[in-house]
Chain A
Amino acid sequence: MSDLGDKSLDSKNQKVIKRASNSFFGDVSASFKRWILKFIRSPHVIAMNLLQPILFLFLFSEIFGGVVGGPMSAFLGESVDYITFLLPAIAIQVAMMTGQGSGIGLVQDIDEGLFEKVMVSPMGTTGVFLGKTLSELIRIAVQIGIILGLGILLGAEIATGIAGVFGVILIGILFSLIFVSLTTAIAMFTKDQEAMISIVTPIVFPLLFLSSAFLPLESLPSWVQTFATFNPVTYGVDAARSIVLGENVMTVIEMTSFSGIWNTIIPAILVLLAFAFILGGFAVFAIQRGTSSEVK
């Protein structure tokens, strides 16, 4: 009925100890496929990740759209629809929400999922986490794509066209690495869903509001401007916004060495990369610490 008892295992006199022979690529691929399947199987998670950004997009543009027109045109020098101004911030918000989901998914997996089984398997930690992260980057790309489409339907204009859409998605992916790393690290330290959520939730909103996300920084109190200078959200939003508006919008770093939007994008990418490296390193440390078989 089965070949489970194949030649190497047929008798109690077996001489060869049978060992698995996985590869790094196999680890990445197995983990990637598993998390992508989980993503496809849970449309409610996509809906939940998108619900808040969609509400923000709709409500903010309806409620504040008329009011902020004045100050915005003062800074941007021309009249831009608020929804166009807002859309890149919402794209970054989506990246944040999904990054948050990364950590939550991980604690769930530790609590009630396959995590322990994976740790007992010969799979390498690097491959496991790389595969999972890759699946999340695809998730983020799809979700930002959805939100950009919705924004365009609601009247936003992307000055740089279809190339701009991909540009915003790439910025979103880079930005999300910061959040994926942060929540992964917290997940590995706490290994507890509630602790995880209660640590991350209070971080998201202040970071979002104390940045250039919803209003031009110049119109905000000076302490907010100072905070925003050190807030990765500002750089993610500015980079995405410069692509959407087709203009150099960054005010926290004045750069003139490049032309047009690159004066925003290049410094922003450098800052985001620096954040990603630092928090990524922190995540790697947390993963190593959390998966080493030491006495608790």
Chain B
Amino acid sequence: MKDIGNQNSSREGEKDLEHSIEAQNIDLTYSDGTEAVKDISLTVPKGEFFGFLGPNGAGKTTFIKILVTLMNPTKGNLCVNGFDLEENPQAIRESIGYMGQETRIDEDLTAWENIRFFCEAYGVPKEKWETRIEDLLELVGLSDVADKTAGDFSGGMKKRLDAAMTLVHEPPLIFLDEPTTGLDPKSRKKLWEYFQRINDRGRTIFLTTQYLEEADQLCDRVAVIQNGEIITEGSPTDLKDEVGGRVLEIKIDGEKGSIEKAESLIRDTCEFDDDATLKANEEGITIGSRNVLEIGTDVLLKLRDSGFDIKEFDIHEPTLDDVFMAITGERASDGEEIAEKGIKSGLEG
């Protein structure tokens, strides 16, 4: 439980710290038997913008709640900012900022009052409040609505206020749990900019997201999590390389047999680069390749000339779904096998 009335008991002086987060073999099993986190170990160096990437229900939020001391792991060792979770959870709370998945602001108070509350809560010296609050409001672009009631803000503004509130004590490590979920693209971009700015000031950021695009924009390094386990770790570029470049998705009208026929036709007749991936699924074919723009037209023409009925096609940057497809042969969201045979046939040569 919380350390009642004993906040200042253990204030070690200086710490030479290389890693903001060191987690070893963390397990969390809910009382109903659900294993939400399975043997996760990871290290996040100081100053890194780290991404925890995974679909809904993968265990991202559970893991972040362990890191911010809201939940105790069933097993494992955890050091945050050099403080051991078991020995000194209070020191962890004093040195982190946390922005939960759902926006948490006091809607009865103004933006200013919301931030002031946390200035006092985190013991920021009174004479610094005014400049601190002004700076934070400016950082998240809410200076002109400082005295407006937060309940009247748009979703994006609320999120930005929430972000500002996590920064009052200038924490060296900040946790962001799916901070852009439910935001329109414009607000999302804006928020990314603020996070980037915060990271540029030397703070470590631990972000969870479902979007590869988000991780790609922001993160230095990413771990991909599925069903409570880390399935791969690396830079966003590494992940995209797993897919092999941009993705061309073609939906074909017809039976599984004819889709497989279409796949082998493309495999045999089109020239891809070495890292390219080609997969068939229930609805059609997915091609991941760096030269997909150049060969796309060819592919489509060949399919049409051979009598395949193309319903839809689309070229896009690889998504988390594509990465999952490339690594596990399963869709990220529902974990179902793609085709019965689990077609994982990358291109040879």
Contact = CB atoms under 8 A, between A and B. Distances in A.
Interface stretch (B131-139, B221-229, B256-264, B287-295): B131-139
Interface stretch (B96-104, B273-281, B313-321, B337-345): B96-104
Nearest to A123: B121
Interface in B94-143: 94-96, 98, 100, 102, 104-109, 113, 117-118, 120-124, 131-132, 135-136, 138-139
A144 B260 CA distance: 78
Interface stretch (B8-16, B211-219, B300-308): B8-16
A44 to B, nearest CB: 11
A245 to B, nearest CB: 40
Interface stretch (B26-34, B180-188, B240-248): B26-34
Interface in A31-90: 31, 33-34, 37-38, 41-42
Interface stretch (A2-10, A153-161, A229-237): A2-10
Contact of A126 (B5, B15, B100): B5
B44 to A, nearest CB: 13
Nearest to A10: B202
B91 A295 contact: no
A16 interface: yes
A295 B32 CA distance: 10
A11 B4 CA distance: 34
Contacts of B2: 119, 124-125, 291-292
A120 B69 contact: yes
Contact of A120 (B7, B30, B96, B132): B96
A124 B106 contact: no
Nearest to B14: A16
A2 B104 contact: no
A124 B95 contact: no
Contact of A124 (B5, B71, B72, B165): B5
A19 B123 CA distance: 10
Contacts of A15: 14-17
B251 interface: no
Nearest to B98: A120
A12 B123 contact: no
A30 B70 contact: no
Contact of A121 (B81, B93, B108): B93
Residue in A10, A41, A123, A293 whose Cβ sees the most chain B Cβ within 10 Å: A293
A34 B109 contact: yes
Contact of B172 (A18, A120, A296): A18
Contacts of A119: 2, 70
B70 A116 contact: yes
Given A4-B136, A112-B102, A33 B117 contact: yes
B202 A295 contact: no
B6 A295 contact: no
Interface stretch (A21-29, A92-100, A169-177, A255-263): A21-29
Contacts, number: 184
Contacts of B113: 34, 37
A126 B4 contact: yes
A118 interface: yes
Contacts of A16: 13-15
Given A15-B14, A18-B171, A21-B123, A116 B95 contact: no
B47 interface: yes
A17 interface: yes
Contacts of B13: 16
Contacts of A26: 120-121, 123
A121 B170 contact: no
A127 B117 CA distance: 14
Contacts of A198: none
A120 B3 contact: no
A288 B121 contact: no
A153 B146 CA distance: 42
Contact of B106 (A3, A24, A38, A122): A38
Contacts of A17: 14-15, 17, 81-82, 95, 172
A37 B118 CA distance: 14
B19 to A, nearest CB: 12
B135 A121 contact: no
A125 B17 CA distance: 29
A181 to B, nearest CB: 17
B179 to A, nearest CB: 14
Residue in A4, A42, A123 whose Cβ sees the most chain B Cβ within 10 Å: A4
Contact of A9 (B11, B135, B201): B201
A21 B109 contact: no
B46 interface: yes
A89 B74 CA distance: 51
A12 B46 contact: yes
Contacts of A112: 102, 104
The 10 A-B residue pairs with the shortest CB-CB distance in the complex, in nearest-first order: A22-B123, A2-B135, A292-B1, A30-B120, A12-B47, A20-B122, A19-B94, A5-B201, A20-B169, A21-B123
Given A114-B104, A293-B72, A295-B31, 5 more contacts: A2-B136, A18-B169, A21-B11, A22-B123, A37-B108
22 contacts: A2-B138, A3-B135, A9-B202, A17-B17, A18-B169, A18-B170, A18-B171, A20-B124, A24-B5, A26-B123, A34-B109, A116-B70, A117-B165, A120-B70, A122-B90, A122-B94, A123-B7, A124-B3, A124-B4, A293-B1, A293-B72, A295-B72
